[in-house]
Amino acid sequence: MKAIQIPRSPDNDYTQQAAAERRQFIEQQSGASLHHVGQYSFDPGSLPGNIENFTGIVQMPLGFAGPVRVNGEHAQGDFFVPMATTEGTLVASYSRGMKLTREAGGITTTVVDDAMQRSPVYVFENARQARDFAHWLLTRFSDIKAAAETTTSVGKLRNIEQYPASKMIYLRFNYTTGDAAGQNMCGKATYAACQWINAHYKGPISRYFLSGNMDTDKKHSQLNTLHSRGKRVIAEITLPRTLLQERMRTTPEAMYAARMASQLGGLMAGAVHNGVHPANGIASVFIATGQDEANVAESHASLVYAEITPEGDYYYSVTLPSLIVATYGGGTGLATQRECLETMDCYGAGKAHKLAEIIAATVLCGEISLGAAVVSEEWVSSHDELGRNRP
């Protein structure tokens, strides 16, 4: 029996006609209507490299939160932040946090590291052979770097970490990737580097694999929390006591007590980070701006720190150790995603660190807003008011 196949055009599969044929096929196979899926405004010819079997568009509601005031090294000023979500109260909550932090003078943001990885593994007959190989690698870094960088005009090999285990050497090639997220860039560059290594190393190598999974691509890991993957960006603010009392109906002491209780609860549950809900803000901004949505798995890891200052105010910071964002390439150039980036002046070259700072500031606003809602016992009532779409 011949398998039923989704229609494809051998000449040009990115046309309105090809998409319409696929919609008709799926409707016939499923009995469902794809009327709304077929409503879109851009040319399917812009999609090669972004999707296969293009059939239509899944539309998500888009709202803007803000403005958020960012006192960064790359993002400076007030920004309205695009957020694509189907969760009621989300945009309102982030906007509430943005209003509070804006009245406090804005959020200071700092990008402290920037690296993307690919992690091959080399296997030998025994640990001593692996050790000899590791020593040789250190002497040939400049040659390996040159080989890797023949594949890219943007990516730069920064360093190679080594992790020996058994008769294997796990390597982490760390690159800077400009304004691209860079996973594919790093994969291609590391493949070229490994081909050079395989051709020039005179000792025995049993085998190698381009990925040994120590980059933990699109998966959370403690290694990336410590060493960073993407941008490591910190957002911080000191909230005056009177402002917390007037705007959030709570105090620094109550906020701090809730934070300590939350951290202990998360520890007992085995949580991988101590943030409140960073994935909410990151995912909604990622979808709106054309980021790879699977990178939320790594990017959402957050390290929150708070203290009551000697003056009785509330210092609060969020560190995002593995925020993977792009302002060029991937989905950022698609019509609606590019428009969203342009509203923040974050599309194109030289803007990735700016976008990272805005997202980190956005995450901080969401953490403060939700935390205050829990402490002031307004969490449930706000969801009842804004988060219900049932009669």
Active site residues: 87, 292, 383
Give the whole-angstrom CA distance, residue 84 versus residue 242: 33
Q: Does residue 68 sit in helix, strand or coil?
A: strand
Give the whole-angstrom CA distance, residue 359 versus residue 323: 9
Give the whole-angstrom CA distance, residue 16 versus residue 43: 8
Give the whole-angstrom CA distance, residue 310 versus residue 153: 50
Give the whole-angstrom CA distance, residue 250 versus residue 257: 11
Task: Please list, in sequence order, all residues whose beta carbon lies within 8 angstroms of the beta carbon of residue 30, skipping any fewer than 6 positions away.
Answer: none
- Facing residues of 319 across strands? 234, 303
Task: Please list, in sequence order, all residues whose beta carbon lies within 8 angstroms of the beta carbon of residue 259, skipping any fewer than 6 positions away.
Answer: 304, 306, 371
Q: What is the DSSP letter of 74?
A: S
373-385 residues labelled b (16+ CB within 10 A) or e (exposed): bbbbebbeebeee
Cβ contacts of 138-141, under 8 Å, gap ≥ 24: 140/197, 140/200
Peptide bond into 164 cis (omega under 30): no
- 8 Å CB contact between 319 and 234: yes
When computed from its CA atoms, the radius of gyration of the chain, rounded to whole angstroms, is: 24
Closest among 330, 326, 361, 362 to 347, alpha carbons compared: 326
Closest among 334, 299, 330, 341 to 185, alpha carbons compared: 330
